[in-house]
Structure 1
């Protein structure tokens, strides 16, 4: 309920704060609209990350691994708060389908967790690698003048890569190609839908 309807609170200051200058020129309406749509997609991604890590932690068998998932969820909570702040700053809104995204990701996380800890970690690796690629594409699409959004996305990208590396080091079993392809397809549906709805 906190993830879906609460106001996320970051444990760390947003990277956007260092980029916000009072004398900076305002974004054009078109650039603000594009940034808002991209940050809405990123916000949905962070909603899904909360659901995934919460569900995987819930069904995890290893206490040490459970702590790993909980720490990753805390990092992702910062990302959720940062993307919400950028949406607010840009005059944007959350996806209308947020409960659907959360519920679907929670179910997928439970399935990955029930398949075993190594497979669950493999799911984290593949998810975070795909998110990293997705954020790299946003760095190319975000308006050059939107330094605040770019700073947030760059920091998120760095931390998603770290989460993947940590899961790999913890003993992840890499997923087979058909599962990776299915994950890419579902992510594409989600990102395209959240861009508008």
Structure 2
């Protein structure tokens, strides 16, 4: 949501609205979904992939996966981080599309500078940091810094979402657009839960590929 809003230079109030919806829905899901995985005897890898593809924040995926098992946590993290890597590609394509759309509507000429200005720069930091920790630094260094970086991540995420909460009014979540945006989000999330479960079984349940060995 943040990357998309930056790409189209969207309304920050609407960004806060969408982010609040995501967080509100994620809280009960991260409690109920692990219980469903355990109650149904779902394979841990399938359950973790289901969480990773359905829960919309990395923190909720980690928390929910930890409630099941270590293999479920690893599967969830693999799926969620794979989605995160695609944020850069999606943000770039959205920036290009929106720039040309504005030009078609009589806006500024679609130049590389315009696309760069619209592109959310934090995505570059995410991609560069991920590449460095994945391919440049050795495992010992990554392990040594992991605890400190996780602590910083928690603090900054807490501050960011606290600021979002300061701008959010629950009455507005219901009243905005007569509740239609919220209803559309809930309907899409319900479809996503079912569709992602099917994909999780196909990809992590040994149907299309051998079931991964996660320990």
TM-score if structure 1 supplies the norm length? 0.31
Higher relative contact order (CA 8 A, sep 6+): 1
Structure in which a larger fraction of residues adopt helix: 2
TM-score if structure 2 supplies the norm length? 0.29
Larger radius of gyration: 2
